[in-house]
Structure 1
Amino acid sequence: MSDVRAPGARRGLGAALTRATHPGPTVAVTLVGTLLAVAAGAGPGRTALVLAAVLAGQLSIGWSNDWLDADRDRAVARPDKPVVQGAVDPGVLRTAALSALVAAVVLSLLLGVVPGLLLLVLVASGWAYNAGLKRTAASVLPYVTGFGALPAGVVAAAPGTPSAPWWLVAAGGALGAAAHLANVAPDIEEDLATGVRGLPHRLGATASAVTCAALLLGASLVLVLGPDGAPSAAGWASLVVAVPAAVVAALAGTPRFRRLAFPAVMLLTVLDVVLLLTSGAGLT
């Protein structure tokens, strides 16, 4: 009988592990890194390596989050967490997270020391957030540093190890901060019940939502006005897209719209990179 159940059990574990990666952010960040590599002219081989390195890093961050937060998630009975559902053991998540971390280190450094270390800043930032910074007033710092380092690392992966333009790094940091504020919004009450008081919890839902909206608009303005020359049509289009995303983010101060803010930030970030790619703005 155990042989009959084994394939189903493996499929169930695989599905649980997939859900524990936080698939939405993982896919979005990996896609952004890959598109930036294309825009920077990294070439097919190195672009594929960027994709693999960023994906491994994001997997390690997602799995470590659910592993380290297992007891806290159980305490508030988070229904969206596979570990709370009993679908995966925290020990399995720990093994998966550490294995993905090793893969991320190896894959990142295969791109070279400079791009590798910059990409690993994002991974280290995610682990630092999961390990305890989320409970402090400095909870936004891992997002600012990590998402500022991501475009810098991807651009450095291009031939000649070029430096990313300031406006790309600044926009990445701003979008990272906005993502943090939006990501926390749906779970503020559960977080407070288990002693988590990061920056969004201290600011409050309304102030966090307004700040998130301002960061989204600011990041889009930097992406449009930062490159040399007059803004392109694609650049102006990104501002048009940013307005509704910022409105949704601002509405995250109300319970009804809290779960829409983070998808709006992720979607805007991907669209910004797509429009950046089509605008032909020089990244190197």
Structure 2
Amino acid sequence: MNQTFRSAVRVGAPGLGRGAAALLLSAHPAPALAVTALITALAVAAGRDAFGSCLVALAVLTGQLSVGWSNDRIDLARDTAAHRRDKPLVAGEVHVRTVAAAACVALVLCAPLSLANGAAAGAAHLIGVAAAWSYNLGVKRTRWSWLPYAVAFGLLPAFLTLALPGRPWPAVWVVAAGALLGVGAHFTNVLPDIDADLAAGVRGLPQRLGRRRSRTVAALTLLAASGVLVLGPPGPPDAMGWTGLAVTGTLAVVLCLPLGTSPDSRLPFLATLGLAGADIALLVARGTALG
């Protein structure tokens, strides 16, 4: 999906300006837009009005852009050594100072936009953004690489509910589901690049566990998130919940089987994406129960 997004942006580069297109690609736009769309949908489901939902979207988008730009800037030396010509910075399509400045500007804008949702809600979001930056700044190279994802995703529901009247803290099951989804997203995101990361000296938890065990952890973590989303809310699960649990359970079994072990196989990555997609659908469906 990210490669398709890159191709589409480059096709339109003459209209946008080559430098602007390269800067946009340096921000990892596909995941940034996906996370922004997800959280905005959750904000609407949780009862935020149009203005409040726009504030949420802008805060999340600026935070995500700052994380994406900082990632490419911080990893420039490693990406250059790995000959990552798909990276605009490595290819010389955008200046290093431009990307660094964009990351700082986005981070500065993220602060007031987050706090405009309320002090408590804004603080929750900014802690999550700080966790993501900590990942870029070095936590990704340690056995604690999963922790920033757990913190950032676990606090996103709090960012939404603490902005509602009465500033309620989200239900425990929502926070747990968000944290599990974040950890699963971490393992899913790393799966295709484990060998390249190891060659570059990046030894986060997925790299230490290896490809086979990492895909199993991704499957079980995302399945656990499904279970929490289906069984956590009060009352018996509905048909959609049971269906989602059946789909994620089937995908988890497929991932845990000794299939698609070739480093070039896209099956594990695509299956974990399917698991994450099912979890996201369940999370949005239960947005009205966030508090």
Alpha-carbon displacement from aligned partner over 1:46-68 (angstroms, at most 9, x marks no partner)? 11101110111001000100011
Q: CA deviation at 1:152?
A: 1.4
Runs of at least 5 residues in structure 1 that lack an aligned partner in the other structure: 1-6
Q: CA deviation at 1:155?
A: 1.6
TM-score (ref. length: structure 2): 0.88
1:80-229 alignment, distance < 5 Å: 80-229=86-235
Partner of 1:272: 282
State the structure with bigger RCO (CA 8 A, min sep 6), 1 or 2.
Answer: 1
CA contact (8 A) 1:249 1:264 kept: no
Alpha-carbon displacement from aligned partner over 1:166-186 (angstroms, at most 9, x marks no partner)? 001000000100111111111
Are 1:283 and 2:283 matched, yes or no? no
1:7-22 alignment, distance < 5 Å: 8=14, 11-22=17-28
The percentage of aligned residue pairs carrying the same residue is 47
Q: Take 2:271 and 2:96, find their aligned partners in 1: how far apart are those partners?
A: 29
Q: Take 1:198 and 1:73, find their aligned partners in 2: how far apart are those partners?
A: 17
Q: CA deviation at 1:94?
A: 0.5
Q: Which moved more, 1:220-229 or 1:12-21?
A: 12-21
Runs (4+) of structure 1 exceeding 6 A deviation are: none
Q: CA deviation at 1:8?
A: 4.0
Q: CA deviation at 1:233?
A: 2.1
| Aligned amino acid, residue 109 of structure 1 | L
TM-score (ref. length: structure 1): 0.90
Q: CA deviation at 1:115?
A: 0.3
Partner of 1:260: 270
CA contact (8 A) 2:218 2:272 kept: no
Closer, same or farther: CA 260–17 of 1 in aligned 2, 3 Å: farther
Runs of at least 5 residues in structure 2 that lack an aligned partner in the other structure: 1-12
1:37-76 alignment, distance < 5 Å: 37-76=43-82
